[in-house]
Amino acid sequence: MGARSTYFMTAPDGQKYCGYWVIKTVDKPHSFAVEDGFADADFRPAPGMPFSEMVYRFEAIPTGTRATFISTYASKDGLEQVLPMGVIEGATLAIYQIDGLLAGS
């Protein structure tokens, strides 16, 4: 645990938004948890920005797999800081890419 992964998302206008994950727990193949934070262009944590604790859970169901994603901020203020930045829309767009990723496209 404690491994770090970096990523960026590209907006429709071409702007890149950087972030990082710090792996907290892994219960393969059932779940994993990470700290998810905003980063600068060099992938260093962005000063003054909140981070969330995210948990992904996977459950076998008769038609396939149910994936559950929960993101929690330490405070209401932290959540309110990121909502106007489009965090819900960005997470939704990222999650809906999973089918293509799993299909290998």
> 10 Å Cβ neighbour count for 52?
19
Q: Tell me: the pLDDT tens digits for 4-50?
A: 999 998 888 898 989 999 999 999 999 999 999 999 999 999 999 99
Reply yes or no on whether the pLDDT at 67 is more than 70.
yes
How far apart, in whole angstroms, are the C-alpha atoms of residue 84 and residue 59?
32
The architecture (CATH level 2) of 4-103 comes to 2-Layer Sandwich (3.30)
pTM value is 0.81
Please report the pLDDT score of residue 12 as a whole number: 82
How far apart, in whole angstroms, are the C-alpha atoms of residue 79 and residue 51?
9
Q: Where are the chain's structural domains?
A: 4-103
Within the chain, residue ranges assigned H as helices are 76-82, 87-95, 98-103
105: confidence class by pLDDT, cuts 50, 70, 90: low
More confident residue, 100 or 62: 62
Determine what percent of the chain is predicted with pLDDT higher than 70.
99
Please report the pLDDT score of residue 92 as a whole number: 85
How far apart, in whole angstroms, are the C-alpha atoms of residue 88 and residue 82?
9
